[in-house]
Amino acid sequence: MNFNFIEKRLTFYSFAILSSLIAILAVFFLPMNLWIDMTWWVQIEYNYTNSVDVKNQFNNLIDEVKNEVKIDWKDTINNVVIYKVAWENKFVIEAWLNKLSELAVGNKLEETKTAFKDKLTKKLSAINSSKITFAKYVSIWESFGDYIKQTAYWTILATIIMISLYIAWAYSGSIEWYSSFPFAAVTMITLAHDVLAALGFYLITSFFFPEFKVDTFFITAMLTVLGYSISDTIVIMDRIRTNLKNKLTNKIDFGALINNSVNETLTRSLLTSFTVFITLLAMFFFWPVAIKWFILAMIFGTIFGTYSSIAIAAPLLYDISGKK
């Protein structure tokens, strides 16, 4: 089967534009469901001697402490997560706080965090059956979360630009009569589409399923998506470049050459992506909850990255090159 990607390119472009518009609307109008490392948060670690059931044993106790540290009848502590540390007699309690303007005045916020930690530790220490002792306390201010978010935006943007510049340099002079600019432009556009689409559809999922948060692992997933997407795109562009070199002495139809190049690599691209997708799907359902957010972001990135590499990159190269 020899599919005509050039003939159907407007349909492919339409889907890419639609997914990008949906993603842009999601980014601007849906709230980011931020995890604790992006907000005001505290992390408290405890040691224990005897066995404890952290999920069932401490819920009522934590609710009591949350009520005790309310400010002006408002819930200061927004959410709390408890989990055991694997292979150690430790458990961790993580809590993040609502952004109340009253808390930003003076030291009220830090006092609230400290009060939460002290009251919680006192109540846990009173449980003699488990012999719980305080081990470590970490408090993060919102400025740290803002720094992470701003750094993430600039890092992703810089990564896209640097990869595109590298492609322009790597392809320059490889074909005497063909500029490397179209290869670099295609790289920049497809990478931007992949990250934007993955981000937008993850935010939509997070809106309907709040357990999926945006955290530093999500940022790592976006950078990983860039690496995966460009590796798949490079395979197709390299095949196009090779076929162009082989046809230097003949008059050729550029659209036909691109179609042949994509079809020659199609099986490889689809099988590679399918293998990655099945692996991610298995990890999503059977691996620990702590990395499900990362895996879901990678699933979206794999889907959109594969689509753009096959259906967008090559046809876009055809149009940017003036169909010559």
How many residues would you count in the chain? Answer: 324
- Inside any domain, residue 92: yes
Pair (202, 301) in one structural domain: yes
Give the pLDDT score at 209: 84
- Inside any domain, residue 2: no
Q: What 3-state class would DSSP assign to 322?
A: coil
Question: Angle at which helices 292-307 and 9-29 pack, to 10 degrees?
Answer: 150
Q: Which of 75, 106, 140 is the last residue of a domain?
A: 140
Question: Could you read off the pLDDT of 78-119 as tens digits, one per residue?
Answer: 677 777 776 778 888 877 766 544 444 445 677 777 788 888
Give the pLDDT score at 101: 44
Pair (23, 161) in one structural domain: yes
pTM: predicted TM-score of the whole model, two decimal places: 0.76
Domain of residue 273 covers 9-35+144-320
Pair (265, 307) in one structural domain: yes
Give the pLDDT score at 323: 56
- Inside any domain, residue 100: yes
CATH number at residue 114: 3.30.70.100
Q: What is the average pLDDT across 263-279? A: 90
Residue 283 has pLDDT above 80, yes or no: yes
Pair (23, 152) in one structural domain: yes
Residue 248 has pLDDT above 80, yes or no: no
d(CA 38, CA 97): 11
Residue 74 has pLDDT above 50, yes or no: no
Pair (166, 286) in one structural domain: yes
Q: What is the average pLDDT across 139-147? A: 65
Give the pLDDT score at 303: 93
Q: What 3-state class would DSSP assign to 254?
A: helix
Distance of CA 136 to CAs 62, 108, 117, 266, Å? 18, 22, 10, 53
Strand order in the sheet with 90-97: 77-84, 90-97, 41-47, 133-140
Give the pLDDT score at 80: 75
Pair (255, 183) in one structural domain: yes
Give the pLDDT score at 106: 47
Mean pLDDT of the chain: 81
- Inside any domain, residue 278: yes
Q: Which of 140, 169, 191 is the last residue of a domain?
A: 140
**Other C-beta atoms within 10 Å of 59: how many?**
12
48: exposed, middle or buried (Cβ count in 10 Å: 0-12, 13-18, 19+): buried
Domain count within the chain:
2
Pair (266, 298) in one structural domain: yes
Pair (259, 201) in one structural domain: yes
Give the pLDDT score at 69: 66
Pair (288, 162) in one structural domain: yes
Decide which of 165 and 130 is more confident: 165
Q: What 3-state class would DSSP assign to 17?
A: helix
Q: What is the average pLDDT across 149-175? A: 85
Pair (54, 136) in one structural domain: yes
Pair (155, 129) in one structural domain: no
- Inside any domain, residue 106: yes
d(CA 258, CA 277): 26
Decide which of 195 and 125 is more confident: 195
